[in-house]
Amino acid sequence: MPSEPTREEIHILPENPFFTASTLPYSLPPFAEIRAEHYLPAFERGMAEQLAEVAAIAGDPEPPTFANTIGALERSGAVLGRVSAVFFNQASSDSTPEVREIQKEITPRLTEHSDAIHLDRALFERIKTLHAAKDTLPPAESWLLTRYHTDFVRAGAELSAADKERLVTLNGELSELATAFEQNLLADTNAAAIVVEDPAELDGVSVEAAAETARARGLDGKYVIPLVLPTGQPPLATLTNRALRERVHRASVGRGATVNAEIVVRMARLRAERARLLGYADHAEYVVADQTAPGTQAVADMLGKLVPPAVANAHREAEDLRAEAGFDIAPWDWAFYAEKVRQARYDLDTATMRPYFELDRVLRDGVFHAAGLLYGLTFTERPDLPGHHPDTRVFEVFEEDGTPLGLFLGDFYARESKRGGAWMNSLVKQSDLLGEKPVVVNNLNIVKPPPGEPTLMTFDEVNTMFHEFGHALHGLFSAVPFPRFSGTAVPRDFVEYPSQVNEMWAVWPEVLANYARHHETGEPMPQAMVDRMLEAERFNQGYATVEYLAATLLDWAWHTFTEDPADPVSFERGALADAGLDLPLVPPRYGSTYFAHIWAGGYSAGYYSYIWSEVLDADSVEWFKENGGLLRENGDHFRRELLSRGGSLDPMTAFRNFRGRDPRIEPLLERRGLL
């Protein structure tokens, strides 16, 4: 048997699929050819090639022009872009020990690579020269040049040599810590899964699904309840065994306590130091300076207005739950007795709704159907095209006239190798400059049923599928000249807005009636059940708003602290108390040591984005309702003015072009029952 090739030998192997552009439709990555040993050589070659390209741009003896500087930068790094898109999608959705080792090695090297480009003095001088004359360029080029100038300044291009050296050190350590946090959390979440010996304890949840999960983990004869990313775990709403509910809750809130505590504190300190080095008071000020929010005070003011009415709602809800339970409830009781109150108040048992939400029907007759009615899209499954995992499904997307638009990949099932939550990735970014059409993927974490059984979803999972497809549409509809602006390349506090708008179609009567059908009989969900479901939409909104605000203000506290944090437990307790959100019955949606959004997911000092975006979302939903709802002309208007624009213009300008005015907060307050 021949020996394994060395890294140097692999580096020059012609069959490395990342070294050349994919020949598959839409440049879909050739997943069937990609092996783990291809990643490092591709990263190394990709970084080396891009640094050579950047050196040529910076050293060009010709005076800087948009084409020879900004346009050339947009074209650089082709190999690095291809391998990065595939690798980081796998690292999140199907990680393996080998992939995790590569991630540990390559993440700090990529950070160093980025710093080498952004801190290149000769390159920045060319950008500065062009930026001084940006008003002479066409609008699209001027905006791209402005974004490049901003990126470089925020990356430290104007710092002294000594400060640049310190910045590189800070960035390198932060990237290593973020990777460690993410990998620790995945391992700890898997280790914290609840193993049950006696199936009688599982009353209220699927014994078969728990047995299948156990078998997949090599625990034949036992039963496993896996944990999902947020604090609240779905089984808590239906498990009748109170002791088991407590085990599930404590396992959830305890994640990362031993492995991530020091990482959290260290990252907060390093981010604060980096912000000061770059001229900002704290990390939150640094982040918000490049968002749609006008400043940190505007964010703090909005959050502060929402806390008192949300807390008051949560206290009222708690009284109802205590009355239903007949005793002082604990956090692990809330979801269970909320379900009891929901049933009593609205005659609605959410468990009875699941047979009407079968995954494939929700996808085809719900999500795709709404996109067809609103935008004229059609979808053809392509089993001949490979995905990144056997569970991944590939769909070709067409315009109403049959024009090919791009590819949509759906990876819907949870697995041990997949991080929690739901998200969208771009595998190929649309741009006119490179002649690329979009390839996007949605990742969800729905528990896979035993073989031969249907995948029945909760309504929360249905809503999540519509939400993530809103991100997918943002990527698919991208019609921008430059890859820097493609799809969801917008400020963090704007990116959730289009996806949240897409949630409205999950309950739009014409769409709901099309997909909410019993998986065995095909009968539509009874109208009485539909009416009760819609009537109950505001139910438990106090809890939902408080758990979200608690996580948001916890994120904010970590990134605006004035007293050095000692440990996550005491810091978290003090931060919640200071915010008026220290409600033992309503823990934050994410605790500090498992808050992946802010330590490993790009949402640091930006978790407020969801509620900030919801202001735009709620106001946009009002526009759709005022203008007739699910109409092609409405979809075309939303697509033309907003979804297709990506980051190619100021996002609030795009909103005003769509809405006709600045956003109003009242629709959000009305939606959440906070008026």
List, by residue number, the catalytic residues: 468
What's the distance, CA 270 to chain centroid? 24
Query: What does residue 396 show for φ and ψ, rounded to 5 degrees?
Result: -90, 135
**How large is the angle between the packed helices 261-277 and 161-191, nearest 10 degrees?**
160
The number of C-alpha atoms within 13 Å of 328 and in the hemisphere containing its C-beta is 2
Distance CA(274)–CA(251), nearest Å, equals 34
Helices (H), 3-38: 7-12
Query: What does residue 586 show for φ and ψ, rounded to 5 degrees?
Result: -125, 85
Distance CA(217)–CA(197), nearest Å, equals 14
Distance CA(207)–CA(8), nearest Å, equals 51
Are 430 and 439 in contact by the 8 Å Cβ rule? The answer is no
Helices (H), 404-446: none
Q: Which of 394, 395, 363, 399 is nearest to 379 (CA)?
A: 395
The number of C-alpha atoms within 13 Å of 666 and in the hemisphere containing its C-beta is 3
- In angstroms, what CA-CA distances link 375 with 307, 400, 438, 477? 38, 8, 17, 10
Distance CA(309)–CA(387), nearest Å, equals 46
200 contact partners, CB below 8 Å, separation of at least 6: none
Write down the residue that tokens 């979809």 correspond to. Answer: 635
Are 145 and 66 in contact by the 8 Å Cβ rule? The answer is yes
Distance CA(592)–CA(280), nearest Å, equals 24
Beta carbons within 10 angstroms of residue 571's beta carbon: 21
How many residues are given for the chain?
675
Distance CA(326)–CA(224), nearest Å, equals 30
Amino acid identity of residue 655, one-letter, is F
Are 458 and 357 in contact by the 8 Å Cβ rule? The answer is yes
Q: Which of 340, 335, 337 is nearest to 327 (CA)?
A: 337
Burial group, residue 262, by CB count within 10 angstroms (0-12, 13-18, 19+)? middle
The number of C-alpha atoms within 13 Å of 325 and in the hemisphere containing its C-beta is 21
